[in-house]
Amino acid sequence: MCDTGKESRGNNKQPGGKAQRAERNKRMEKMQMKTPLVEMDGDEMTRILWKMIKEELLLPYIDLKTEYYDLGLAHRNETDDKVTMDSALAARKYGVAVKCATITPNAARMEEYHLKEMWKSPNGTIRAALDGTVFRTPIVVKGIEPCVRNWEKPITLARHAYGDVYKNTEIVVDRPGKAELVFTGEDGSETRETIHTFTGPGILQGIHNTDQSIRSFAKACFTYALDTKQELWFATKDTISKKYDHTFKDVFQEIYDAEYKEAFEEAGISYFYTLIDDAVARVMKAKGGFIWACKNYDGDVMSDMVSSAFGSLAMMTSVLVSPDGIFEYEAAHGTVQRHYYKHLAGEETSTNSVATIFAWTGALKKRGELDGIPALVSFADRLELATIRTIESGRMTKDLALITSLKDVQVKNSEEFIKEIRKTLETL
Ligand code: NAP
Ligand code: MG
């Protein structure tokens, strides 16, 4: 389904000379797109913001072509969640998707939405279908300073999302005995290692990963580094884990040398491997502006540290990148349920739409790049700039007003904030 909007920007009483007006009129022509974006609509407050963003900030300027999938929970339930898989296949087909936050059902949602089943997390389904890695980047603005003073530029965190402790097998040892690691080949052959001989109670854990998953992770990281022209850091504990972690190190190096080294050199960026403890120490002293690839557990822990140090989850974008270069953009936060219930009760909300706006601009830029439409790329850049300038001028939502170092702040409600961004956009 294609979605187009009506021109709503006409205004003959604009100030400025003839040349300026001509320039404005030229800009007022709606930008054309070639290939549709895969649009994945979502739930609750973010679904409300989604509509406002499209109406105020996109449709007046772009002849927006999207293939629309309604991933709202009611529709997922109606379609037995087929719509989620269909949207992932569409992302495969077109290459670029933009996703609104969605509810991951739990027991309470089963009742609230009268669900036939406790459907799986759409993000999990899409990630599995695209075999992707998630990259999270803070949106940096003046007035919302990171806790770490020297972080001048964003740090993008890439987390491997398969295996290790998240797919572990554990045993509580309650008596003396020998623990062994045994691998039985399909042909019946066995490889055996003694883990420990217990003289009393203790604990045991088995973890795994696959070369295929590590390769996909590595490729997604190299692809994204090239795409965003940023240095790539990767770290493990290979000095201690001489087979497990060392395999991660070797796979990354092998893929880098064989497939990416030249392109990195051409782009003037580098791949940097170090030990995880060294990486943590360096990150704290760095200026930012790089991608930090982390194993699953490191990524879990470090992404929370990096995002909270940068200020707010509502200022964090997220993009899923598949090893074959499919991009799905979204906000890092959820559906902001508490605000939605206030909205339903007729109360005013002040929900931050920045991460959702940046999901759209990320997707539009990527579409513009792939289809050779520089105007679309520059529009997306201008919309990002307008969003940042609006906040830096002191107009912001409540969540930011609580943490900003700016004086003279005007707190805007959800809708007003988007309208303020439009006002700024019109001046750029
Ligand atoms: P959440 O939607 O991220 O919101 C948690 C709290 O963080 C909010 O109540 C709000 O704090 C603050 N917040 C988050 N985003 C904000 C924004 N844009 N503007 C202002 N404040 C913001 O997490 P949740 O309430 O735990 O989850 C709600 C639903 O989202 C769940 O059903 C979950 O399954 C889903 N979820 C989806 C995704 C996704 O699709 N990617 C990710 C996470 C969660 P205050 O209430 O203090 O103002
Ligand atoms: Mg975590």
pLDDT tens track for 42-65 = 999 999 999 999 999 999 999 999
**Tens digits of per-residue pLDDT, 221-248?**
999 999 999 999 999 999 999 999 999 9
Whether residue 52 sits in one domain with residue 72: yes
* Spatial distance between the Cα atoms of 319 and 394, rounded to a whole number of angstroms: 28
Of the candidates 281, 310, 339, which is a domain's last residue?
310
The residue whose C-alpha atom lies closest to atom 36 belonging to ligand 1 is 334
Q: Count the domains in the chain.
A: 3
Buried b (16+ CB within 10 A) or exposed e, 277-298: eebbeebeebebebbbbbbbeb
Residue 104 beta carbon below 6 angstroms from any ligand 1 atom: yes
Helix segments in 113-190, DSSP class H: 122-130
Please check whether residue 426 lies inside any domain of the structure.
Answer: yes
Q: 295 with 336, same domain?
A: no
Return the CATH number at 154. 3.40.718.10
**Same domain? 327 vs 412:** yes
> The domain containing residue 190 runs over which residues?
169-206
State the Cα–Cα distance between residues 380 and 204, nearest whole angstrom: 51
Q: Which domain-ending residue is among 276, 310, 344?
A: 310
Q: With left for phi above 0 and alpha for psi between -120 and 50, is residue 376 left, alpha or beta?
A: alpha
Could you read off the pLDDT of 303-354 as tens digits, one per residue? 888 988 887 888 999 999 888 889 999 998 999 999 999 999 999 999 999 9
**Residue 127: is its pLDDT beyond 90?**
no
Ligand 2 center to 20 CA (angstroms): 50
Task: Calculate how far, in angstroms, residue 73's C-alpha sits from the geometric centre of ligand 1.
Answer: 16
Let me know if residue 317 belongs to a domain.
no
117 and 217, same structural domain? no
Task: Report H helices in 35-81.
Answer: 44-53, 73-78
Question: Is 39 contained in some domain?
Answer: yes
Atom 38 of ligand 1, nearest CA residue: 334
155 and 299 inside one domain: yes
Closest CA to 232 of 130, 307, 135, 363: 135
Q: Please work out whether the CB of residue 303 comes within 6 Å of at least one atom of ligand 1.
A: no
User: Could you please report the per-residue DSSP string of 330-377?
Assistant: EESS---HHHHHHHHTT-------HHHHHHHHHHHHHHHHHHT-HHHH
136 exposed, middle or buried (CB, 10 Å; 0-12, 13-18, 19+)?
Answer: buried
Cβ(357) – ligand 1 distance below 6 Å: no
- Can you tell me which atom of ligand 1 is nearest the CA of 333? 3
Q: What is the pLDDT of residues 168-198, one digit of tens each?
A: 899 999 999 999 999 999 999 999 999 999 9
Q: Is the CB of 83 under 6 A from ligand 1?
A: no
Same-domain pairing of 109 and 159: no
389 CB within 6 A, ligand 1: no
- 47 Cα–ligand 1 center, Å: 12
Which of the four pLDDT bands, split at 50, 70 and 90, describes residue 21? low
